[in-house]
């Protein structure tokens, strides 16, 4: 992990002291910045992140205590370690005052080379360790974010695959697989809730003629329009499914009696018999089709799902044989 070299700020109003510090810190491995006043130091702190500030206490205009106080007031700067450099090291009052303003240590003038270099080395090691930890945490956060994105994308793909496995690609309606699952659920729910349900299967009368005359794209558009009408006319707890070709199925929940079921299916016939504005191989045209519907009411636990489907199919054949565009209830 390659981290940039740490930076040290030396603040002293005496040029000779700055030169001396520069030489002492030449081999520290840090970039050394110099400020000759408190204002200059604060300006540099706004532009750079310093691993350590060596701050002279006695300066004109703004002394080291004031500089330390202003640094401590800034949320981004307050954790920067400050070592006060002062000739008044023996003054306990000044020392306490310095700690109050944020100093982490003191170095007395005249400066002992080995003490300065030793203390600077400790703070630079702490800074590097903290920087490495911060970089590692940032990398971990990036990796976690990437993992979360990958998980979300995988979930999206899995959900898409599940949807494709249970829904018709052309109309978006539940397919035969999901239809059987919904039918089994309806059969299990009836004993608990008491309300009955009915199964309606329907074929589109005249669909083949549209397909043959105007082309398969027009036939597909017609099936999509029919699916929208079926979905728009159904209740929230009903199921509208496409079983294949021009064959659809409706699971009608909360059925009260035969008359109400017949009324609902007749409404479906009326809705589907309305004309469709479509685009065919020869241009725009108006398609007119109808629906033949066979309905079977759920008779109870002794009736299997295939028995219910077969009863609805027989009723559908009766509807077609009786002239189409009608609804027949299985006996």
If we measure between CA atoms, which residue out of 271, 328, 263, 257 comes closest to residue 294?
328
Looking at residue 191, its pLDDT comes to: 62
Of the two residues 277 and 108, the one the predictor is more confident about is 277
Find residue 202's DSSP bridge partners: 248, 293
If we measure between CA atoms, which residue out of 54, 33, 57 comes closest to residue 44?
33
- Is residue 55 over pLDDT 70? yes
If we measure between CA atoms, which residue out of 299, 331, 305, 304 comes closest to residue 318?
331
Mean pLDDT of 39-45: 94
Mean pLDDT of 295-307: 86
pLDDT band at 61 (very low <50, low <70, confident <90, very high): confident
CB-CB contact of 85 with 25 (8 Å): no
Residue 257 gets which letter from DSSP? -
Provide DSSP, 11-40.
Answer: E-S-HHHHHHHHHHTTTSSSEEEEESSHHH
CB-CB contact of 11 with 38 (8 Å): yes
Which of 16-20, 95-99, 129-133, 305-309 bottoms out in mean pLDDT, i.e. has the lowest?
Answer: 95-99
In the chain, where does the domain assigned CATH 3.40.50.2300 lie? 7-136
- Is residue 52 over pLDDT 60? yes
Looking at residue 233, its pLDDT comes to: 82
Of the two residues 187 and 273, the one the predictor is more confident about is 273
Mean pLDDT for the chain overall: 89
Question: What values do phi and psi take at 43, rounded to 5?
Answer: -65, -40
Of the two residues 254 and 221, the one the predictor is more confident about is 221
Of the two residues 60 and 201, the one the predictor is more confident about is 201
Q: Which residues of 37-55 are buried (b: 16+ CB within 10 A; e: fewer)?
A: bbebbbebbeeeebbbbbb
If you count them, how many residues does the chain have? 331
If we measure between CA atoms, which residue out of 39, 28, 36 comes closest to residue 11?
36
**To the nearest whole percent, how much of the chain has pLDDT over 70?**
93
CB-CB contact of 288 with 203 (8 Å): no
In the chain, where does the domain assigned CATH 3.30.70.270 lie? 176-329
Looking at residue 316, its pLDDT comes to: 97
Looking at residue 289, its pLDDT comes to: 96
Predicted structure pTM score: 0.60
Given CATH 3.40.50.300, say whether it is the number of domain 176-329: no
CA 299/CA 118 separation, integer angstroms: 92
Mean pLDDT of 51-63: 89
Looking at residue 113, its pLDDT comes to: 87
Which architecture characterizes domain 7-136 according to CATH? 3-Layer(aba) Sandwich (3.40)
- Is residue 3 over pLDDT 90? no
CA 123/CA 230 separation, integer angstroms: 75
- Is residue 101 over pLDDT 90? no
pLDDT tens readout for residues 168-202: 999 999 999 999 999 999 988 776 555 689 999 99
- Is residue 291 over pLDDT 90? yes
Beta strand residue intervals within 99-178, DSSP E: 103-108
- Is residue 65 over pLDDT 90? no
Provide DSSP, 310-324.
Answer: HHHHHHHHHHHHTTS
CA 125/CA 104 separation, integer angstroms: 15
pLDDT band at 303 (very low <50, low <70, confident <90, very high): confident
Task: Indicate the burial class of 284 (C-beta count within 10 angstroms; 0-12, 13-18, 19 or more).
Answer: exposed
pLDDT tens readout for residues 229-261: 999 988 888 999 999 999 999 999 888 788 989
């Amino acid at each position: 992990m390659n981290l940039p070299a740490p930076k040290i700020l030396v603040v002293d109003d005496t040029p000779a002291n700055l030169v001396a510090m520069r030489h002492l810190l030449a081999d520290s491995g840090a970039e050394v910045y110099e400020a000759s006043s408190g204002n200059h130091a604060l300006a540099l702190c706004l532009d750079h992140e310093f691993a350590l500030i060596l701050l002279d206490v006695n300066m004109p205009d703004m002394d080291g205590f004031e500089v330390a106080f202003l640094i401590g007031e800034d949320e981004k700067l307050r954790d920067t370690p400050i070592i006060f450099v002062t000739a008044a090291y023996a003054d306990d009052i000044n020392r306490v005052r310095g700690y109050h303003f944020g100093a982490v240590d003191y170095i007395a003038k005249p400066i002992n080379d080995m003490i300065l270099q030793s203390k600077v080395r400790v703070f630079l090691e702490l800074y590097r360790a903290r920087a490495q930890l911060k970089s590692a945490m940032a990398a971990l956060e990036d990796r976690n974010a990437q993992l979360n994105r990958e998980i979300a994308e995988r979930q999206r793909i899995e959900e898409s695959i599940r949807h494709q496995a249970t829904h018709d690609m052309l109309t978006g309606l539940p397919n035969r697989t999901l239809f059987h699952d919904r039918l089994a659920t309806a059969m299990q729910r009836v004993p608990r809730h008491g309300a009955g349900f009915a199964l309606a299967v329907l074929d589109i009368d005249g669909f083949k003629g549209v397909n043959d005359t105007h082309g398969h794209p027009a036939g597909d558009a017609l099936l999509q329009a029919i699916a929208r009408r079926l979905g728009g006319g159904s209740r929230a707890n009903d199921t509208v499914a496409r079983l294949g070709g021009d064959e659809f199925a409706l699971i009608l929940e909360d059925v009260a009696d035969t008359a109400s079921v017949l009324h609902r299916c007749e409404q479906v016939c009326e809705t589907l018999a309305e004309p469709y504005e479509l685009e065919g191989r020869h241009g725009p045209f108006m398609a007119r089709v109808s629906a033949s519907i066979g309905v079977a009411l759920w008779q109870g636990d002794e009736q299997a799902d295939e028995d219910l489907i077969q009863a609805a199919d027989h009723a559908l054949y009766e509807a077609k044989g009786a002239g189409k565009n009608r609804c027949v209830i299985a006996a």
